[in-house]
Amino acid sequence: MASKEPEDKPKPKTKSRVVLVRRKKVVDDKGKPDAAFLRQMLDEAVANLFDTDTPEAAWRKIVRPEDVVGVKSNVWRYLPTPPALEDALRARIVGAGVAAENVAVDDRGVRGHPVFKRATALINVRPMRSHHWSGLGTLLKNYIMFVNRPPEYHGDTCATLGALWKLPQLEGKTRLNILVMLTPQFHGVGPHSFSPRFTWPYRGLIVSTDPVAADATGARIVAAKRDEHFGKSSPISPPAHHIEIADTRYGLGNSDPANIDLVRLGWGEGALI
């Protein structure tokens, strides 16, 4: 007789699908995005992620006409979410049947914004960059503007950022996460520091319904770039352990590459992953 499996044996995790799409011509020599290429990349990634024939069909899976949709962007002046990407998201959401007055794009004003107060669905979009307190500025961190006192989440290199996603106004509302990897920043030298020499034209978007898996994928790319740039092992500092903790403590998604189904689309040179 076969032995019975222990009842407390952990169940294998369901893999998270992450789409990495890149286009060589999406940014010019100065890092300025091309709106048409960005729209194409977003459409291709979303259709692939939701396994639909068209982006329109994918967006009908993401939002419903009765939804109130907040697009949580990021306006950091040195490396903001590209306005062309914000426009593309707004157009696709409205195209899926959501009333224009029920769609808003904002960052630092989200707590008081009337649309975000009523939001039934959130789209999370921001650029990847190094960060003095959390190691990396990520999708998980992008929701910190929803709280009154962001510094309360800065302890232990922002280990508790996953708790943000459990807040009543946020939990279960995020339908799509887009980590902008057009010209990521891979190194910083102080709080809110920026230097063009620590950015590079990666020319990509990382798209997933799982923010942890998207951030973990972006972090692997940044880590590889750091090693390449400095010519030696150069771990992200401080360690961006909020990504793994969002998985292991808060159960928000998968941080282990073994549990991530990574789909690569488009330009492959210099992918670093």
**Is residue 22 domain-resident?**
no
Q: Give the domain range for residue 114.
A: 32-266
**Is residue 13 domain-resident?**
no
pLDDT band at 190 (very low <50, low <70, confident <90, very high): confident
Number of domains in the chain: 1
**Is residue 129 domain-resident?**
yes
Phi-psi region of 82 (alpha: psi -120 to 50; beta: other; left: phi over 0): beta
- Alpha-carbon Rg for the chain, nearest whole angstrom, is 18
Read off the CATH number of the domain in which 56 is found: 3.40.50
**Is residue 7 domain-resident?**
no
pTM exceeds 0.85, yes or no: yes
**Is residue 272 domain-resident?**
no
Give pLDDT, residue 4: 45
**Is residue 19 domain-resident?**
no
pLDDT band at 115 (very low <50, low <70, confident <90, very high): very high
**Is residue 219 domain-resident?**
yes
Has residue 12 got a pLDDT over 70?
no
**Is residue 2 domain-resident?**
no
Residue pair 86/74 in contact (Cβ under 8 Å)? The answer is no
pLDDT digits (tens, 9 = 90+) for 146-168: 999 999 999 999 999 999 999 99
pLDDT band at 2 (very low <50, low <70, confident <90, very high): very low
